[in-house]
Amino acid sequence: MGFYGPEPFDTAEATYVWTGLRTPGFFSVKVQGAAPNYTSGIQLVRDNEFVGGLAIEVMGWTGPLAPGATPYAVQNTFKGFYLPKILIVGSNKSVLIDVKEIPFTTDEAYLALVKGDAKQPEPAY
């Protein structure tokens, strides 16, 4: 029987995408690691009970347990106002990571960039 809970992770990164003045943008969070065999449905979930910032939990379904681990990479976006650091929580550690900032005119432009459908715009000088 499987169980739902926190999963281990190795690396995490976050980028904040500005979408306009006085408008909340969004955080794009990417996490990589190796989860125990047999784990599925790994996702990043906002911890709504965390106060004082933004905490993202790495969650998934594991079971039945088996020897070994399988590499994974997962990405998700979370709306909110800019924070210079966010907390990533997994079964093996909790890490406060720095947030990179990217100005974009629309969140669709950033999502196209993340998916590889567009090139990063040239800076206007």
User: Which pTM value belongs to this model?
Assistant: 0.80
The Cα 47–Cα 54 span in angstroms is 7
The Cα 34–Cα 7 span in angstroms is 9
Tens of pLDDT, residue by residue, the chain (125 residues) = 689 999 999 999 999 988 877 788 899 999 999 999 999 999 999 999 999 899 999 999 999 989 999 999 999 999 999 999 999 999 999 999 999 998 765 556 667 766 766 555 554 44
Q: Is 49 exposed, middle or buried (0-12, 13-18, 19+ CB in 10 A)?
A: exposed
Structural domain boundaries of the chain? 3-115
